[in-house]
Amino acid sequence: MPKLKPEHVHVTEAEDAAITAAAMSDPDALPLSDQEWETVKPLIRIGRPKATITKERITIRLSRDILSQFRASGDGWQTRIDCALRQYINEHPIQG
């Protein structure tokens, strides 16, 4: 346990009981039951929102100089590779 600061105020058992009693008497601040805790869901989601159209994870070998150029352009370089490939496909449709 970390060392407490010298100005730390220790709460006595009587004070703790008084604080708990006051909290329990407030109908707007009653603690949740174990069953209620099970239904609690976070209100915020950390990170980017889930995409409606997801991408597939693959392994691909690219020339070192090409990869270096995209990485040097900063964050989002993989998305820029995806856009470059999409542009190529649009300009060079596959004849099938």
Cα–Cα distance, 17 to 24 (Å, whole number): 10
Q: ∠ CA 42-45-48 to the nearest 5 degrees?
A: 170
Closest CA to 60 of 40, 96, 32, 85: 85
**51 or 12, which is more confident?**
12
pLDDT for position 86:
94
Output the pTM of the full model: 0.47
pLDDT for position 95:
81
Are 70 and 77 within 8 A, CB to CB?
A: yes
User: What pLDDT band is residue 77 in, cutting at 50, 70 and 90?
Assistant: very high
pLDDT for position 3:
86
* 66 Cα distance to chain centroid: 31
Cα–Cα distance, 25 to 71 (Å, whole number): 60
Provide the residue ranges of all domains of the chain, joining segments of one domain with +: 13-91
* 46 Cα distance to chain centroid: 3
